[in-house]
Amino acid sequence: MEKEIHLPVSEEEVRKLKVTEIVYVSGIIHTMRDMGHRRAVEMVNRGEKLPFNLKDGAIWHCGPIARKVDDTWEVVAAGPTSSSRFTELGAELVRKQHVRLTIGKGTMGKSMVDALKEAGGVYLVATGGCAALYAKQVVKVENV
């Protein structure tokens, strides 16, 4: 079965998802890797407001390759990166920022699984080897 989710997404809608469903996500998706997670958690822990809204949104574990064209960014490749190393920091963001979707490659640890269960979130696995295809789906790059 296939589902379409447009961000922001409610906890109720996420909890309706079933294992093995193919999920298409549209809306603003935040790409984050190691430093992005670390900086976001540090800001939140200091009581600072993030420069973007993660509530009911999505974090994609991705290190896109982009080139600057005039005043805009064009994504050339956007493949998922291994999510296991984001387990602890990702769990903090899910709990404190109410992130609903985490998208990545591979598995995540128990603390992230527990955080997603508690917060009404879900981990979506992106297929590796599709970086060029994913890049074509990016409409606009903001807030680099």
Reported residue count of the chain is: 144
SS (H, E, C) 77-107: ECCECECHHHHHHHHHHHHHHCCCEEEEECC
Q: Is 37 a catalytic residue?
A: yes
Residue of 6, 37, 61, 98 marked catalytic: 37
- Contact between residue 107 and residue 84 where contact means Cβ atoms under 8 Å apart: yes
Closest CA to 59 of 92, 82, 85, 37: 37
Catalytic residue numbers read 37
